[in-house]
Amino acid sequence: MVLVVLDLQSNLLQGPLVMLDAPNMHTLLVSNNMLMGEIPHFNLSFIQYLDLFYNGLSGTIPQSLANNFIQYLNLNGNKLEGSLPRTLVNCSNLEVLNVGNDMINDTFPYWLANLPELQVLILRSNRFHGFIGEPKTRLAFPKLRILDLSHNQFIGILPTRYFEKFNMMCGKKHEGELEYMREELDTFNALIWNIPIYAQDYSVSLMVKGVDRKIDKILTIFVMMDLSSNQFQGQIPTVIGKLNFLQILNLSHNNLIGHIPPLLENLTSLESLDLSFNKLVGENPSQLASLTFLSVLNLSYNRLIGPIPQGNQLNTFQNDSYIENFGLCGLPLLKKCVDDEPPSPIPSIYHEGDDDSSWFDWKIVLMGYGSGLVIGLSMGLYGLY
C-alpha cells in the first residue's frame, strides 16, 4: 500500500511532529493542531502540497522541504526562526509560499523572483528588514499577484522596479465560470500506483478589506498587495496606476509623503484602498470617484487638505475614512468648506420690529453722513469764489 495523502488537520495532536518516510506522498495536511518542536527532515521527495499552518513549531525551516515538485508550502502561524532556506530557489513549480506570522529574521528574498510559477508570496508579521532594492533579474516574479509584506521592518522607498514587472499589470479577466487555485493533479503518479486522483484547494490567511480572514479557496483572478506597517518612505510611485487588475491595495502605517497619485483612477478593479497613517499632503484627487468597485477607503491620519470629492462610491464612505486630516472639509465631515458657507447678510438700514436703540444708532450714522455731505459741498462751493 502506498501512502499518498495524509490529512490530520484540525485535531488535538500534541507533541513533536514525527518524521515521515513516505517518498510517494504528495499531500500532507497537519494544520490547526498543537504540535511543538522542530520540523524534522522529511523524506518526502514528491511532496506537492504541505500544510503545517497554525501549530507551535519552532526552529529553522529545514532545507529538505524544498523539492522540484512542491506547489504549495504553508508554514504560517508557527514560531519558526532564522532565515528562509535558499534551497527554495529550486522549487520551480512552487505557486504558494506562506511563511506569515512566524519569527523569521531575514532580508527580502529577492532570489525568489526567479521562480516561474510563484503567484502568492506571504511574509507578513515576521522580522524581515532592510531595503528591498531592485530586481536582480529581468523577469522578476513573472506570475506574482498576491504579495503580503505587512508588519515587518522594511525600509527605504517602495519597490517601484518590482511593481513594473508584477503580473498585476496583466491579470486574468473573469470570463465564464470562476476558477480556484488548487494542486495540479498528479495523474502520472496515480496511474503508476493505481491510486485515486486527489486534489487540494489552496488556502491562505489575509487581511481583506480591514478584516483578517482565512480564504479556503483562492480565486485565480484575485489580486492584492499589502505593504502596510513597515517603514517605507518617499512618495507613492505613479507606476502603481498601471497595476490594472489590483483589487486590494494597503500602504497604511508607513512614512509615505507627497500627494495621492491621480493615476490611481486606472485601477478600475480596485475594491479596497488603505493609505491611512502616513504623511500624505495635498488634496484628495477627484479621480478616485471613477473607481466604481471601491467599497473600502481609508485616508485617515494624513495631512490632506481641501474639499472631499463626491460622486459614485465616494458618496458611500463615512467620516472615519477621513478623520485626522485637519485640512479636509465637506461631506461626510462636519467641517464645511469656505465656498459652501453662505455670504454674511448686509444689514438693512431699518426693519420694522427693530428695537429703538438700534434705530437710534442708525439715525446717528445717517445724520453724520448728511452733515459730512453738506460741509463737503460748502467747501467745494467756497473754493469756486
* pLDDT range class, residue 376, cuts 50, 70, 90: very low
Instruction: Assess contact for 259 and 182: CB atoms under 8 A.
Output: no
Q: From CA 239, how far away is CA 243, in angstroms rounded?
A: 7
69-114 per-position pLDDT tens digit: 999 999 999 999 999 999 999 999 999 999 999 999 999 999 999 9
What value does the mean pLDDT of the chain take? 84
Q: From CA 209, how far away is CA 331, in angstroms rounded?
A: 23
Does 18 have pLDDT greater than 50?
Answer: yes
Residue predicted with more confidence, 210 or 286: 286
* pLDDT range class, residue 187, cuts 50, 70, 90: low
> Where do the structural domains in the chain lie, given as residue ranges?
5-251+265-277
Q: Residues 243-272: what's their mean pLDDT? A: 95
Q: Residues 333-351: what's their mean pLDDT? A: 61
Burial class (CB in 10 A: 0-12, 13-18, 19+), 288: buried
R_g of the chain, CA atoms, integer Å: 32
114-167 per-position pLDDT tens digit: 999 999 999 999 999 999 988 888 888 999 999 999 999 999 999 998 988 776
Burial class (CB in 10 A: 0-12, 13-18, 19+), 116: exposed
Residue predicted with more confidence, 147 or 170: 147
* pLDDT range class, residue 363, cuts 50, 70, 90: very low
CATH fold for domain 5-251+265-277: 3.80.10
> Euclidean distance between the first and final Cα of the chain, in Å?
133
